Copies of this chain bind each other. A is one copy, B any other.
Amino acid sequence: MAQDAQNASLIGKPGSRAALTTPALLIDLDAMERNIAHMAEHCRAHGISLRPHAKTHKSIRIAELQIAAGAAGICAATLGEAEVLAGAGIPGVLITSPVVGDARIARLIALNEKATGLKVVTDNAAVAETLSRAASESGKPLEVFVELDIGTRRTGARTPEAALAVARQVGKSNSLVFAGIHAYAGHLQHIADYAERRAEADRCAQPLAVFTEQLDAEGIRPPIVSGAGTGSHEIDALRGNYSEMQCGSYIFTDVQYNACALRQGAAQPFDTGLFVQVTVISSNGDGQPITDGGLKRFATDGPPPEILRGAPAGSRYIFKGDEHGGIVLPDGMTDLPIGTKIECLTPHCDPTVNLYDHYHIVRGDTLVDIWPVDARGVI
């Protein structure tokens, strides 16, 4: 039975949060709304545009809330995400990875014909030329960001000079529009210490400044300089090197971001808004009750889930296989009642969300709605 069908009858019933069939992915709607408003205000205050990254949530509904709060558009990690979001009418979708291969480029061009303000990154002159040919056959120009790697060693031309060659290729095309620079420092977002993270962001700003100067020298001002994540949202706003921020995880936060000092000398600006609720299904007297939440219910690329509610203070979560978690109770405690509901702060939020088909939306103790994770698994 699909998960939404199992819990749909509980919507609107007071106390229904405690009656969910689990494992369930929960959004605290009050917290997420505060987070969306808070980041929108942060960007307005610093005169920077916001194009939040949808790879975190993969949700049309959440993208709509972000747009309603003033976002200029939405980032998508894959063409499939962009198809889902732009297909639902979300404007200004920026695909933050290169799109390569005939089949994918055909889909990209078809999407561009229908979508409002679609944009895509490229880091390669030959790919830019292919995009140019495909766009010229379609008749509608394609907006292209040139990607510069500033330290993550993921996609992106590795030097300003290499990026300039790509920009020149884009500039030569009648069917491509140079939309700006894409430069995302993914590797520094989770550095816990603020000063250390700022120092690395300073290093990353250098090649970006060089590239901007080179473009200036050629008479090409980048219309947009896009980058920044939740971890660097304050640092990059204060420095002003981006005209647009792409933060994603701020809407939920997770174990990793809660461990980062996100603001210098200030409290965390964002509330925890995403949880996985599990149930104790077995308890056998040895201080380690077992839940129904295992490796298939939580991301495992970072720290383990953190128990927030339902187990005594000092309890910790361990994985016990595909479908089971263990609650290691504090010394002297042996059992939890079978049926106990436990809510965990999620490890890395993006790949955790990707494991679920639905969000259970709660306000306080009540399930108020169930939303699909619309773009889960699409490529």
Name A's B-contacting residues (CB within 8 A): 1-3, 6, 19, 21-24, 55, 77-78, 80, 83, 97-101, 103-104, 107, 123-124, 126-127, 149, 152-158, 162, 186, 279, 281-286, 288, 290, 292, 295-296, 299-301, 319-324, 326, 338-339, 348, 350-351, 354-357, 377-379
Contact = CB atoms under 8 A, between A and B. Distances in A.
Contact of A3 (B326, B357, B379): B379
B377 A338 contact: no
**Residue in A83, A101, A283, A296 with the greatest tally of chain B CB atoms within 10 Å:** A296
Contacts of A354: 296, 322, 355
Contacts of A23: 379
B149 A323 contact: no
Contacts of A149: 284
B322 A350 contact: yes
B155 A281 contact: yes
B351 A2 contact: no
17 contacts: A1-B80, A1-B378, A3-B377, A77-B323, A97-B292, A98-B282, A101-B279, A124-B338, A126-B338, A127-B338, A149-B284, A153-B286, A154-B321, A154-B324, A157-B284, A158-B284, A186-B321
Given A295-B301, A300-B301, A285 B379 contact: no
A183 to B, nearest CB: 14
A283 B338 CA distance: 52
A1 B149 CA distance: 29
B378 A3 contact: yes
Contacts of A78: 292, 323
**Residue in A154, A286, A355, A357 with the greatest tally of chain B CB atoms within 10 Å:** A154
A286 B123 CA distance: 14
Looking at chain A's contact residues, the main secondary structure is loop
Nearest to A162: B284
Contacts of A324: 97, 154-155
Contact of A123 (B80, B162, B284, B301): B284
B379 A292 contact: yes
Contacts of A350: 295-296, 322
Contacts of A338: 98, 100, 124, 126-127
A318 to B, nearest CB: 10
Contact of A323 (B21, B55, B104, B279): B55
A379 B356 CA distance: 10
Nearest to A324: B154
A6 B103 contact: yes
B124 A282 contact: yes
A158 B282 contact: no
A99 B103 CA distance: 45
B100 A281 contact: yes
Contacts of A320: 152-154
A316 to B, nearest CB: 15
A21 B379 contact: yes
